[in-house]
Amino acid sequence: MANHIPPLNYLRAFEAAGRLGGFNLAADELNLSQSTVSYRIGKLESDLGVLLFQRLTRRTELTKDGLEFLPTVTSTLRQLQDGVDKLGTGSRRALAVTLSSYLAMRWLSPNLAHWSSRYPNVDIHLDHDMKQGAVESDIVIFWCKHATEQQSTQLLFETDMSPYCTPQIAATLKTPKDILKHPLLTAQPHLDTWPEWMELAGISDMSGATCRRITDSNVRIKAAVDGLGIVLGNRFMQPEVDAGFLVRPFDIAVHGPGFYSRNQSRSPDVADRFVRWLQKIALSDN
């Protein structure tokens, strides 16, 4: 075994399974089948001549050797990734990113200082014209109810949508159906999740509801703060909750809509690096 380093994909499978606590979770993260992860870890154990995992009836556990080996592999893979990320940052580059002003203000902008500290030679240009940006930008970050992951499109994180309203309106809500007594602040039909929330809350008929369509998310939230109705929002509305402007009257949430990134850059090296960074901060936020 002298001067022998196992294949990188074997080490990645082991590191993910050890860190996440299971072959299935590692398979999800690496976008592989569970059998592929199991095969690669088995080959790694064979190459090293040690057992890294105990295969129990319904779970796997790291052995003593596995526990000792995991920090070394984790640290090594992290250093390797950092080295790859820093390649090509000597010359100044620009990256055009299109996303809604809502997500830019509440999620991306507070994190951009971290990007700039790691990659000072890559300028990020933010644009909020989703229609034009979908054609011209290097990366588009968009919210979607039913998107599917493809080679150039990656899920960053999913969101839970719940009603938010002023404390004054919340005081009039005894049951979820009472929401229909107030105007519903809605998005465009293809983005609106009120029907899904109503179904989850056991409300089968929305025909009598007053709907006020406001396509801009920031304006929709401001309208809720101003008492113009009830809005469906996600965890990024916490500043309004902390300030006492809005409350969440019912602990009922629709799960599933997500924010996705699409890489359409002609110079994918920097764009790929930015998407990987987006995925890291999304993972750390959840």
**What pLDDT is attached to residue 118?**
86
Task: Detail the DSSP E strand segments found in 87-181.
Answer: 93-98, 122-127, 139-144, 153-164
Q: Give mean pLDDT, residues 255-274.
A: 84
Residue range 135-159, pLDDT digits in tens: 789 999 998 876 665 557 888 988 8
If DSSP codes are grouped into helix, strand and coil, which group holds residue 31?
Answer: coil
Of residues 222 and 1, more confidently modeled: 222
**What pLDDT is attached to residue 1?**
47
Q: Give mean pLDDT, residues 39-54.
A: 94
Crossing angle of helices 34-48 and 8-20, rounded to 10°: 110
**Start-end ranges of CATH 1.10.10.10 in the chain?**
8-86
What gap in Å lies between CA 284 and CA 273, rounded to an integer?
17
- Tell me: pLDDT of 29 over 90: no
| Cβ atoms of 233 and 164 closer than 8 Å | yes
Query: According to the CATH classification, is domain 91-286 in 1.10.8.80?
Result: no
Q: Which of 116, 218, 255, 228 is nearest to 168 (CA)?
A: 228
Q: Give mean pLDDT, residues 241-260.
A: 93
| Cβ atoms of 237 and 246 closer than 8 Å | yes
User: pLDDT class for 48, splitting at 50, 70, 90?
Assistant: very high
Q: Which of 262, 260, 259 is nearest to 138 (CA)?
A: 262
Q: Give mean pLDDT, residues 109-113.
A: 92
Q: Give mean pLDDT, residues 5-32.
A: 89
H or E element that contains 98: strand 93-98
The rounded percent of the chain whose pLDDT value lies above 90 is: 60
- Indicate the average pLDDT of the chain: 89
User: pLDDT class for 91, splitting at 50, 70, 90?
Assistant: low
Q: Which CATH number fits domain 8-86: 3.40.50.2000, 3.40.50.1100, 3.40.1790.10, 1.10.10.10?
A: 1.10.10.10
User: pLDDT class for 286, splitting at 50, 70, 90?
Assistant: low
The rounded percent of the chain whose pLDDT value lies above 70 is: 93
Of residues 284 and 143, more confidently modeled: 143
**Start-end ranges of CATH 3.40.190.290 in the chain?**
91-286
